[in-house]
Structure 1
Amino acid sequence: MNLFSFRSTDPRALRATSIDVVGELTDAAIVAASSDARVTLAAWGADKAVGTRSAAVLKLLRNPVCAGVTKNGEPRHPLYVAQSTPFVPYSVE
């Protein structure tokens, strides 16, 4: 699940853009995608751009899972975990 409607392979672009990276329909799209899923993979990593957005999105997800968490408690990005890593329930405590 992406946190923002604006996506880039370079997190610096997300932080540098002047456009609204969330967008007015983003939360509704996240709810729609997650509500039909048995689980929703949270995998946005720990970049500074995440900020408080992860907590807001987590509230929208149905049965969030992740492949481990970073030292900051954010769900690990798939590029940085082994393919065999099992998914575990994800929550912010």
Structure 2
Amino acid sequence: MRVALAQIPCVLGDKEANLGRMRRTMSRVEADLYVFPELFLTGYMVRDEIYRLAECMDGPSIAAVGAMAAETGAHVLFGMAFRDSMVPGVLRNSAVLISPLG
């Protein structure tokens, strides 16, 4: 198993830019598992913005990373602010693992 530890900086509060960084990293390095930092999708210190940036499991960023995993045939582990749909108003600092199968 080849593991790519992508200890790269993120753009604070810019999910699209960070998804682009994930995509570029995955296109440059071949691996079976890509590991990105904690809260990589949004970065730290976004304060009240974190509520706007957080997503549920069916959010667009999860879908985008799922497409990257399927395209590369690799697993992807990354951190994000997760909106708990079962408990309104609660956010979780979560590690998300996505397989190439979704």
TM bucket normalised to smaller? 0.3 to 0.5
Q: TM-score, normalised by structure 1?
A: 0.34
The two structures have a TM-score, normalised by structure 2, of 0.33
